Chain A
Amino acid sequence: MQKYSIFTLARNAANYHKGWGLAWRSPEPKSEYDIVIIGAGGHGLATAYYLAKRHNLTNVAVVEKGWLGGGNTGRNTTIIRSNYLQDESAAIYELSRSLYEGLAQELNYNVMFSPRGLFMLCMTEHELRGFKRHAHANRLSGIESRMVSAEEVKRKIPILNVSPTARYPLLGALYQPRGGTARHDAVAWGYARGADNLGVDILQNCAVTGITRRGGKVTGIDTVKGHIKAKKVAIVTAGSTTLLGDMAGLKLPIESVTLQACVSEPIKPVLDVVIMAGTVHGYMSQSDKGELVIGGGADEYNNYSQRGSFPAIEHTITSLAELFPIIRRLKMLRQWAGIVDMTGDRSPIIGKTDVDGLYLNCGWGTGGFKSIPGSGLVFADTIANDRPHPIAEPFGLNRFAEGRLIDESIAAGVAH
């Protein structure tokens, strides 16, 4: 692998940038792998990377229906935070957030992690009380997170409308100083390049059509490019998890709905933190290009279309226009949607299944991007050792039958 540095940049500049090699190969599928990961999004690629890097398992393939990072990894609003209420959630999201801190160095790929600070606005007394509880829980979990006053929020975000005539008054905010954003595509590309360099085959345009089993044990997958034998198969396909689960006869507590986002035309810097407003269902940050990146609540009904419904995006925009009056005349450049896999308790499912050798990592719902490094790390460990990683253990599929939910349905009060 060609190392990216100031020296290689200078050397290639002297050569008019004609000498850069490809970042990863496009190999033909082998007939057999030790481990096949279905889904080359952030979570799948991170899993492959950590399998190779930390467990020396390199006879691994990542198969992908379309192009890598083309699903939710390339469709989210790139927010990274870990100020979750439940201990189990705080552990995995904080692991993930802390891995983001060193990810660019680890991967030798600039993922543009920007811990610019994240404010979750409180606009009702109940929200204020709820977030105070979050702040205390976070402190007990060792996560830097605290309440700030409305005055402090206004000082930090001058464009915020805190007028007493606003529909919802600002009462304060939950502040995570090391929360922020990263470049979503770069996270997928960085993990892909890292995994490929360690010997992992990334097979794009290779849709899976079946999961073959014999005697309760997984034996491989059928794909549009033929059968691939595998000792272990991992499903990491977010919104399409149910479709893959059906191939292996799994009963899953998942519903697929669309989550929309949009970006405005680029403008000069007006917002240097991430804002989330749960009461009115909207969140916003400004990208390095100057676009305002906007997201809101998920659509209401089951939907595989990757398009989304107008009322949901209208609701988000009206809320944000009320919060930030200066954005009212901005034009939107692009709007899109991803299919998110929602579980009953809004927490992910990580671990083994009833089928021997079949692993599941799904249900991240609206919180998938921020959890990519941590999810990949604990899932790789789970696959390599055929037992749940301690941080992944509470997130097993069995919790739904045991009634042991990890309730994060009000974690954000809004899609996150």
Chain B
Amino acid sequence: MLLIKCPICDCEGDETDFHYGGEGHIQRPTSSNPDKVGDEAQRDYLYVRKNPRGLHSERWLCERGCGKWFHALRDTATMVISKTYLITDKPPAELKKAGKK
């Protein structure tokens, strides 16, 4: 059971009070000309995931609190949530340090 604290409304609750939204910081490939978005870029956006064993940046919804989305840094092996941050924030430095990709 995860204990999560929303960085926006400061509500703390277990994982059933929140909703998981998958990997964070995935950008949709955009172009004024959709033909220029290749199949590989579209595949990466839709399906390819980092899926690390270790530090993982992910999105959570504060479902029974403020109703806002936010980011969390969680270790997928130990389940420790080391940080939560706003949905608009850039990926934190520790993620880049841990990430190989």
On whether the two chains bind one another, the answer is: yes
- Within 296-312 of A, Cβ neighbours of B (below 8 Å) are at 300-305, 309-311
A255 to B40, CA, bound (A): 18
Binds B, one of A7-15, A96-104, A245-253, A287-295: A245-253
Q: How far is the CB of A129 from chain B (nearest CB, A)?
A: 28
Does any Cβ of B come within 8 Å of A401's Cβ?
A: yes
Does any Cβ of A come within 8 Å of B36's Cβ?
A: no
> B16 touching A311 by the CB < 8 A rule?
yes
Q: How far is the CB of B91 from chain A (nearest CB, A)?
A: 16
> B1 touching A304 by the CB < 8 A rule?
no
Q: Mask for A371-414, Cβ within 8 A of B = 1, else 0?
A: 00000000000000000000000000000111100000000000
> A344 touching B47 by the CB < 8 A rule?
yes
Interface size on B, residues (CB 8 A): 30
Given the interface pairs A301-B20, A303-B76, the reply to whether A242 lies near B48 with Cβ below 8 Å is no
A304: contacting residue among B22, B53, B100, CB under 8 A: B53
B residues in contact with A400, CB < 8 Å: 43, 46-48
Does any Cβ of B come within 8 Å of A159's Cβ?
A: no
B residues in contact with A402, CB < 8 Å: 39
A311 to B39, CA, bound (A): 38
> B2 touching A401 by the CB < 8 A rule?
no
A242: contacting residue among B14, B16, B52, CB under 8 A: B52
> B2 touching A309 by the CB < 8 A rule?
yes
A residues in contact with B49, CB < 8 Å: 242, 252-255
Q: Mask for B21-57, Cβ within 8 A of A = 1, else 0?
A: 0110000000000000001101110111111110010
Q: Which residue of chain B is the closest to A302 with respect to CB atoms? A: B76
A residues in contact with B52, CB < 8 Å: 242
Given the interface pairs A246-B101, A401-B39, the reply to whether A309 lies near B46 with Cβ below 8 Å is no
Q: How far is the CB of B48 from chain A (nearest CB, A)?
A: 5
Interface size on A, residues (CB 8 A): 25
Q: How far is the CB of B79 from chain A (nearest CB, A)?
A: 6
A residues in contact with B78, CB < 8 Å: 305
> A254 touching B51 by the CB < 8 A rule?
yes
A233 to B96, CA, bound (A): 30
> B51 touching A256 by the CB < 8 A rule?
yes
> A246 touching B48 by the CB < 8 A rule?
no
A371 to B97, CA, bound (A): 39
A residues in contact with B1, CB < 8 Å: 309-311
A residues in contact with B47, CB < 8 Å: 253, 343-344, 400
Given the interface pairs A302-B56, A305-B78, the reply to whether A252 lies near B15 with Cβ below 8 Å is no
Q: How far is the CB of B16 from chain A (nearest CB, A)?
A: 5
Does any Cβ of B come within 8 Å of A270's Cβ?
A: no
Q: How far is the CB of A298 from chain B (nearest CB, A)?
A: 12
Does any Cβ of B come within 8 Å of A243's Cβ?
A: yes
A79 to B87, CA, bound (A): 41
B51: contacting residue among A242, A309, A310, A311, CB under 8 A: A242
A residues in contact with B56, CB < 8 Å: 302
> A252 touching B39 by the CB < 8 A rule?
no
Q: Mask for A112-136, Cβ within 8 A of B = 1, else 0?
A: 0000000000000000000000000
Closest 7 CB pairs between A and B?
A253-B47, A242-B51, A344-B47, A401-B43, A401-B39, A301-B20, A304-B53
Q: Can you show 21 pairs from A to B with CB atoms below 8 A apart?
A: A242-B52, A253-B43, A253-B47, A256-B53, A300-B15, A301-B2, A301-B20, A301-B74, A302-B76, A303-B76, A303-B79, A305-B77, A305-B79, A309-B15, A311-B14, A344-B46, A400-B46, A401-B40, A401-B42, A402-B39, A403-B42
